[in-house]
Structure 1
Amino acid sequence: MARATSLDFARAELDAAGITGSGLRRAYGRCRELNARHGRTYFLATRLLRPAQRPAVHALYGFARWVDDLVDEPAPGATTADLAARLDEVERALKNAFDGLPPEEPVLVAVADAVRRLALDPALFSAFLRSMRMDLTVSGYATREDLYDYVHGSAEVIGLQMLPVLGTVTGRAEAAGPAAALGRAFQLTNFLRDVAEDLERGRVYLPADELAAAGVDRDRLQRCLRDRRADAAVRRALAEQVALTRAVYREAEPGVAMLQPASRPCVATAFDLYSRILDRIEAADHDVFAGRATVSRPRRAAVAGVALARVARVRVREALPGARR
C-alpha cells in the first residue's frame, strides 16, 4: 500500500472541510505550509483534530505567522516607517476581504474565508495588528499590565479565535477566559525561552519593574547575552517569571474540559508540550542564554502517542449507536 504523503493529508483535510476551488485550496495550503515549518508544537497538536477542523487552524496560525514575520524578518533596508505602512496595507486588505473584496495575498484569502465560515469577530484581528505595530516602536514593558496589553493582541486573541473551531460544551463566553489565558501562557513561555533572541532584536518581553525588584535591568541582560551565560541574579529573576507563568497555566487548565471531547486531546497536548518548555528552563537552572529550551523529539512523540490513543477512544465512542454529537 502506498504511504500517504503530506499532500494527501492536505487534500483530505480540505475535502473534509468542504473547501473547494483551486485558488482557495492553494491559499489554505500556503497556510498549512507555514504552520508545518514554523509551529512544530502547534502543527503536531493540530493533527489531533478532526480533518475538517484543521484548515481553519492552519489559516489562523498562518496569518499570525505571516504578519509576525513581516515585522521580525523585514526585507533588507526596510525602515520602521516602511513596516508600519506594510501593516497598514495588510489591515486594509484584510478589511476589504472581510467586506467581500478578494485579496491577492493567499494567506489573506484563506483567513478571510475562515473568518466567514466561523463568524469570527474582525476586532480580534485589529487587536492582533495593533500588537504587531507595538513591536515596531516598543522595546520594553514597564509593568506586567503593560506587557499584558501587548499580549492580548499578540496571543490571547488567538485563543479566542480558536474557540469556534474547537467547539465547547459550555457557553462560549464561559470558555473565553481560559482560552485567552492559554494563549497568554503560551506567549509568556515563548518570552522566557527566547530572552536571548529577543534581546538581539532590541526587545525585552519581561516586566521591567519585576526584573528590577530582583536586581536585574536591561544592561545586565545584555551582559548575559554577551557572555552567553545567565548570572545568579538573572537566574533568580527568571525563576520568579517561570513561577508566574505556571500560575497562568493553572488559570487556563479548566478550559480544556470546556471544549468538545474531540478537541480536548489537541489542546491538552499543546498545553503539555508548552509547559514542558518551562521544565526545560528549570532543568537548565534558568540559564536561557546558554541554549534554547526545547522539548525533545522523542518526548513530543510520546506525548502525541498518548493523545492519539485518547482521540481514538473519543472517536470510537462517537461512532456508537445513540452517541451524542
Structure 2
Amino acid sequence: MLKDLRATPSVAGGGRDRAALVQKARAAIREGSHSFHAAARLFDQRTRERAWLLYFWCRRCDDIADNQHMGGELGDQVDAEARLKSIRLLTRRALEGLPTADPAFDAFGLVAKECRLTGDMAEAVIEGFALDAKDWRPRTEADMMRYCYHVAGAVGVMMAVVMGVDPKDRETLDRANDLGLAFQLSNIARDIVEDDAAGRCYLPEEWLVEQDIEPGQHTKPHHREELAELAARLVDLVEKHEAAARVGAARLPFRSRWAVLSAARIYGAIGRKVRERGVDAWNERVYVPRWEKAWYGIRGFASALINRPHEPEEPIAWGIADYRPAAAVPAASD
C-alpha cells in the first residue's frame, strides 16, 4: 500500500530561522555594497533588517544572472537563459513559502511575506536581468531609462514598500522609482569603461550617433572628450530624478527619510565626481570615501529634520508607467 504523500509545508523564509537569515543578509550587504550598507544603518532596526533581506536577494539574482560573485568579474555568459529560468523558479518558490536551498531566496520569501511584496514587483526586477541575457542595448534615451527602471527603479519601489509605503500609493512609489533611476544612472556613468570591457554598453545608440562615435569605439582615447560630455548628460538626468526622489522622501518616517536622503547624496556624489573629472573620470574607479559618506549622512539628517525639499526645476510629469513594459523595448538585433 502506498503511503500518503505529504506536501512540503509553506512557511515564509522556507522554514529557516529569521535571525540566521538576517545575519547572512547583513554579511552580504557589507561585502557587496559599502554605500548601501552605510545608508541602511540609518533605518530603524526592523526596516534595516528587511532592507538587508531584500538586498540579499537582489545581489544573489545579479550574481546568478552574470555568473559572478558579489558583483565581481563577469563569468562565462553561456547558458544565460538557463540561469534566468533558475532565478524565476527560485523566486516563485520563495514567494510560495517553499524552501529553495538558497538562503538569499529564502530571505526574499521572508521579507515578501512581512511587507506584502508581490511576484509582479519581483518580475519587474528580473526583467532587467532578462535584457542583459539577450545582450540588449538601448537605442534611445527612453530605452535606457526603461532598463534603469528594471534594474534599479523597481528595487526602489520594493524598498519603499519595505519602509512602510502602501503598495497602492502610486505617487510615492513613483518617486521611489526616481531614486533607483538616479542610482543606476550614476552607476552607468561611473562604469562606462568597465562595462565596455565586459562587452556591454548602456549609453543610447542615438547619443553615440549624435557625437559621431563609431560603433564599439566610445571608450577609445580619441573619444574621451565626447564620452565626458555623454557622462555629464547622464549626471544631469541623475540630478533630475534625485530631486524628484526627495519630494517622495518627505512622506516617509523620519529614520527612513534620513536613510533615503543620505543614500541619494552618496550615489549622486558618484555621478558628480565623474562629471567633475571630465576626460579623466575613468583613469581609476570613482568612489565615495567613508568620511564623505559620514558627511552626507549628517547633511541627510539635517534635510530629513527640516523636511522641506526643494521642488525640482523641471515639473514632475512622469512616473513608473513611463518606463514600462520591457516587452516594448526592441532588441538591438531587430
TM-score (norm 1): 0.81
Structure 2 distance, partners of 1:306, 1:79, is 42
Q: How does 1:72-151 map to 2 (within 5 A)?
A: 72-74=66-68, 80-151=77-148
State the AA in 2 paired with 1:289. Answer: W
Show CA shifts across 1:69-126 (max 9, x none). 2233449997545232122122112212212322210011111010001011211111
Query: How many aligned residue pairs are there?
Result: 291
Cα 1:218–1:308 shift into 2, 3 Å: same
CA–CA distance in structure 1, aligned partners of residues 58 and 74 of structure 2 = 23
The match for 2:60 among 66, 75, 100 is 66
How much has 1:22 moved relative to structure 2?
A: 6.3
User: Could you tell me whether the CA contact under 8 Å between 1:97 and 1:112 is conserved in 2?
Assistant: yes
Equivalent residue number for residue 47 of structure 2 = 53
Moved more, 124-133 or 39-48: 124-133
Aligned-partner Cα distance in 1 for 2:304–2:148: 31
Structure-2 change in CA distance of 1:72 and 1:276 (3 Å): same
Q: Is the 8 A contact 2:231 2:275 kept in 1?
A: no
Question: Where does residue 261 of structure 1 map in the other structure?
Answer: 254
CA distance, structure 2, for counterparts of residue 310 and residue 244 of structure 1: 22
In the aligned structure 2, how far is the partner of 1:91 from the partner of 1:73? Answer: 15
Asked whether the equivalents of residues 93 and 103 of structure 1 are also in contact (C-alpha less than 8 Å), the reply is: yes
2-structure distance, mates of 1:236, 1:208: 15
**TM-score (normalizing by structure 2):** 0.79
- Distance in 1 (CA, whole Å) between partners of 2:183 and 2:279 is 17
2:38 is aligned with 1:44:
yes
Distance in 1 between residues matched to 2:159 and 2:50, nearest whole Å: 9
Query: Secondary structure of the equivalent of 1:231?
Result: helix
Is contact 1:235-1:286 (8 Å) kept?
yes
Q: Pick which of 131-140 and 180-189 moved more.
A: 131-140
Structure 1 segment 1-325 matched on structure 2, within 5 A: 23-74=17-68, 80-168=77-165, 172-224=169-221, 231-307=224-300
SS in 1 for 2:287: coil
Q: Distance in 1 between matches of 2:38 and 2:239?
A: 22
Shift in Å, 1:309: 7.3
Identify the residue that residue 319 of structure 1 maps to in structure 2. none
The residue number in structure 2 matching 1:16 is none
Listed one character per residue, the Cα deviations across residues 130-189 of structure 1 (whole Å, up to 9, x for unaligned) are 211211222521112222222222111111101122235997222011111111110111
User: Partner amino acid for 1:58?
Assistant: W
* Residue identity matched to 2:92: K
* Comparing 214-223 and 202-211, the one that deviates more: 214-223
Q: Which amino acid aligns with 1:64?
A: C
What is the rounded CA distance, in whole Å, between the counterparts of 2:289 and 2:215 in structure 1?
Answer: 31
What do the CA deviations read for 1:254-285 (whole angstroms, capped 9, x no partner)? 11102122311100000111111122112212
Q: Report deviation, 1:310.
A: 7.8
In structure 2, distance between residues paired with 1:221 and 1:192: 13
> How far apart are the structure 1 equivalents of 2:74 and 2:209?
35
Q: Secondary structure at the match of 2:138?
A: coil
C-alpha contact (below 8 Å) 1:120/1:161 kept by paired residues: yes
Root mean square deviation, CA, Å: 2.8
Structure 1 unmatched runs, 5+: 1-18, 315-325
Q: What secondary structure sits across from 2:117 in the alignment?
A: coil
Percent identical pairs in the alignment equals: 24
Are the aligned partners of 2:67 and 2:77 in contact in 1 as well (CA < 8 Å)? no
Structure 2, unmatched stretches of 5+, are 1-12, 308-334
